[in-house]
Amino acid sequence: MPALRTFALCHQISTLSTVNLNKTINTFIGHGNLEEARKLFEQSPHLTNIVSWNSLISGYFKHNNTQQAQYLFDEMPQRDVISWNIMLSGYRNANNPDKVYRCLLHMNRYGDDRPNGLTFAVVISSFLHIDFKHLIPQLHGLLLRLGISLNVFVGSALMRGYIDLDDYKGLARVFYEIVDKDVTPWNVLILGYMKSGFTSEAQRTFDIMPRRNFFTWSTLINGYIENQKLNEARYVFDKMSEKDVVSWTAIIRGYVQYGDFMKALKLFKLMLNSGSTRPNHFTFSTVLYACAGHSAVLVGNQVHACILKSGFPLDVVLLTSLVDMYAKCGDIEVAFCIFESIHVKNLVAWNSIIGGYARHGLAERAIQEFERMLKSGIRPDVITFINLVYACGHGGLVEEGERIFNSMVTEYGLKAEMEHYACMVDLYGRAGQLEKAEKLIEGMPFKPDVVVWGAFLGACGLHSCIELGEIAANGIYTLENDHPAVYSVLSKIYGDKGVCSDITGLDKLMKKWRARKQKAGSWVE
DNA sequence: TTAGGGTTAG
């Protein structure tokens, strides 16, 4: 009997200690002190249980140390479904769907435990927007076979999956199968209807749903904006009795998207005056974009001051928005100073400053920044090269532009897109090398669009070249048979060349093109 | 573990 008592006592102590050990490990992890947690873990192997292992692994994932997490996981004497789910969500958060997939296969083959609802929710959400999404219906089948009921988590994730696959029947089916729906699946249903363009279905869902939250409102607002129904979005926004920062940002962004920068800025002012909602990073970036679009440097200055006053830490996105705003509003030097203050400059930040110099016609400085960017180890993308070729075109650096354009393909393995060709045509055109521009268009791997033809036509206008101008006009005609700019450029060329007497010929051409004299398109400078 | 908003070109 005493022996049994001793055993029970020991057992109690050891259980207690294990609980305490795990608590301490978690406290260390919570304070970001993984080393101490690990030390404690290694010092007391007799006290550790599966929970200690799981805590430590999850701690490594939280601190972005996936390698250690995987290493510990491999060493585990025994794993439960929680261990697997920690691995899956760790890799999902690390944006590594490949590993999620392999981990899932592994679990299926060797796991001691079966997957549960959480397993599927995590896996499905990490398969969204990528090729793995095609596995989602199979996962759906698998979880039904395993008898896992569709709770709001798995169900909502699955609904997202079917939206991603444009399978709206699947979406509705899952929605009806979810037991004990809370507001989330309703929100996802609205999202799905909006994504497929069924705005009235979305509205009907909104009207009949039992409860709504901020997500509901902003999903509806964004849906209307995506479907080009800004007025409806505004109507819904105005109906909100209590507006949160997300819906404010969304509606401001809506106006920005439609080019109504003035209204966007007015709304921002209204937001500040409302006193109830404070702007955040997202709002500021959006508003700065509006300032840039409207060349409203004074408002931009005020927003800048507002950001500084608000005490938000200036992250790279916000700083890039500032760089872009100042560059577009004409103050490239301030833009550069702010750019220099960015500690870790990413590709977008570099593109902004290079684009800024390009627009200011400072081709050498654009190239200089490009070289600095390369030295800092950032790889250029297609946008970098659009900016660079544009810069060379506006700075008269024809050969440099050619070299850069070619290096994009040969050195950086990027594919030249329509925009690059348009910039190159513009570059040759400005320099008066119209034959080269024509040759380039002929050799393009795809049919030129209206921007390419427009650049060419503009150049022909600039250099008063009738024959090539007519080729350009014809090119545009095949795409848009009554572009107004064609008329104004051609009549300029004919005028320059003194072929005014041929005005009846032009009239014929005009009839043929059914062009009307309207405001000239802005792509012809 | 599920559902909303941000930066570069066009």
B10: residue with closest CA to C1'? A419
Q: Which nucleotide is nearest to A286 (CA to C1')?
A: B6
Judged by C1' against the alpha carbon of A126, the nearest nucleotide is B1
Please state, in angstroms and rounded to a whole number, the distance separating the CA atoms of residues A302 and A451: 36
User: Which nucleotide is nearest to A253 if distance is taken from CA to C1'?
Assistant: B5
Q: How many Å apart are CA A491 and CA A518, to the nearest integer?
A: 13
Instruction: Give the pLDDT score at A508.
Output: 52
Q: Distance in angstroms, CA of A350 to C1' of B8? A: 8
Half-sphere exposure of A161 (CA within 13 A, CB side): 28
Contact indicator for A350, A382 with CB cutoff of 8 Å = no
Q: How far apart are the first and last CA of chain A?
A: 100
From the Cβ of A424, is strand B under 7 Å away?
no
Query: A214: Cβ under 7 Å from strand B?
Result: yes
Which residues 436-455 on A are within 7 A of strand B at the CB atom?
Answer: 451
CA of A156 to C1' of B2 (A): 5
Confidence (pLDDT) at A504: 44
Measure the CA–CA gap between A354 and A384, rounded to whole angstroms: 7
* Mean pLDDT for back-to-back runs of 10 residues, chain A (525 residues): 44 65 88 89 90 94 92 93 94 93 91 88 93 93 92 95 94 94 96 95 96 97 96 96 96 96 96 93 96 95 94 93 96 97 97 97 97 97 97 95 96 95 95 93 92 86 76 75 63 60 48 43 32
Nucleotides of B under 7 A from a protein CB: 1-10
Can you count the helices (H) and strands (E) in chain A?
30, 0
Distance A437 CA to B10 C1' (A): 20
pTM summary value:
0.84
A320: nt with nearest C1' to CA: B7
A179-228 residue pLDDT tens = 899 999 999 999 999 999 999 999 999 999 999 999 999 999 999 999 99
Scanning the structure block, which residue is given the tokens 């996981």? A73
Which residues make Cβ contacts (< 8 Å) with residue A499, sequence separation at least 6? A466, A505
**A168 exposure class (CB count in 10 Å sphere: 0-12, 13-18, 19+):** middle
For strand B, is any atom closer than 7 Å to the CB of A245? Answer: yes
Instruction: Please write the tens of the pLDDT for every residue from A441-460.
Output: 999 999 998 889 888 888 88
- In angstroms, the CA of A187 and the C1' of B4 are apart by 10
Report the nucleotide nearest the CA of residue A245, measured to C1'.
B5
Stated in angstroms, how far is A519 CA from B2 C1'? 51
Q: Which nucleotide is nearest to A182 (CA to C1')?
A: B2
A54 touches strand B (CB under 7 A): no
Spacing of A288 CA from B3 C1' in Å: 27
- Looking at this protein, which amino acid is placed at residue A153? F
The predicted structure's pLDDT at residue A496: 61
Q: Pick out residues 479-498 of chain A having their CB under 7 A from any atom of nucleic acid strand B.
A: none
Q: What percent of chain A is helix, strand and coil (3-state, nearest 5)?
A: 75, 0, 25
As a rounded value in angstroms, the CA-to-C1' distance for A463 and B1 is 64
**A358: nearest nucleotide, CA–C1' criterion:** B9
Dist. CA A254–CA A261, nearest whole Å:
10
* Model pLDDT, residue A457: 87
* Residues 274-333/A with CB < 7 A to strand B: 280-286, 289, 292, 315-318, 320-321, 324
Give the pLDDT of residue A484.
63
